[in-house]
A and B are shown apart, each in its own frame.
Chain A
Amino acid sequence: MKLIALIAVSLTGAILIYGTADMPDWGDPGSPASLHVSPRYIEKSVEETQVPNIVTSVLADYRGYDTLGETTVIFTAGIACILLIRRFGR
């Protein structure tokens, strides 16, 4: 059983390492992740929101829905913990 797991893990790792050949280099300013929407965030953030910390402005303003849903996820996790562990009526 452990041997099968080891084989599967090494196979997956080998495929993933083969896949990194097409990834952009570390610290490449022209990587696809840094070209699409993030330059606009960086250039316009201070002008539009007066918040110097771009991470905060993107988190709370440009992607406010994302953070709202995520706060709800945390709240749901807390409620799930309560419902699972606490024994009612005993």
Chain B
Amino acid sequence: MEFIIGKYNYWIYICLMMIGFYAMIGKRNLVKKLIGMNIFQTSIILFFVSTGSKKGATIPIVEHGARAVEAVRYINPLPHVLMLTAIVVMVSTFGVALALLMMIYRRYHTLEEDEILGFRK
């Protein structure tokens, strides 16, 4: 029971990640692949944020006027910083990927991978 309570968050993220992974390699539509990639990235962000949590600690904002700061009382700010940048990178990669898909559609008039590969033969 202790094992399940300690680890179930990782299992949830792994399930999410595998959903995204399946969409990336199993689906044939490029937009669905892109959505799968987004789910994958979201699961990684959730994983990183959860590694920074400490039981009984508060958000990493120091109370007003507090002089002595103990590290145990605030959760780890480092994963938050890294994921804050990762979220914005995720948005920009999504924008560039949509632009690329637009170019592909303009050229081949389809987004199905099989048909695009068939055209190129």
Binding site for B on A (CB under 8 A): 1-2, 5-6, 8-10, 12-13, 16-17, 20-21, 23-29, 31, 33-34, 37-39, 41-43, 45-46, 52-55, 58-59, 63, 66-67, 70, 73-74, 77-78, 80-81, 84-85
Contacts and interface: CB of A to CB of B under 8 A. Distances in A.
Contacts of A16: 14, 17
A66 B22 CA distance: 32
A27 B78 contact: no
Interface of B: 5-11, 14-15, 17-18, 21-22, 25-26, 50-57, 60-64, 66, 69-72, 74, 76-81, 84-85, 88-89, 92-93, 95-96, 99-100, 102-103
In this complex, the member of A26, A63, A78 whose beta carbon has the largest number of chain B beta carbons within 10 angstroms is: A26
Nearest to A34: B76
In this complex, the member of B8, B71, B80 whose beta carbon has the largest number of chain A beta carbons within 10 angstroms is: B71
B55 A42 contact: no
Contacts of A77: 92-93, 95-96
Contacts of A67: 85
Contacts of B53: 26-27
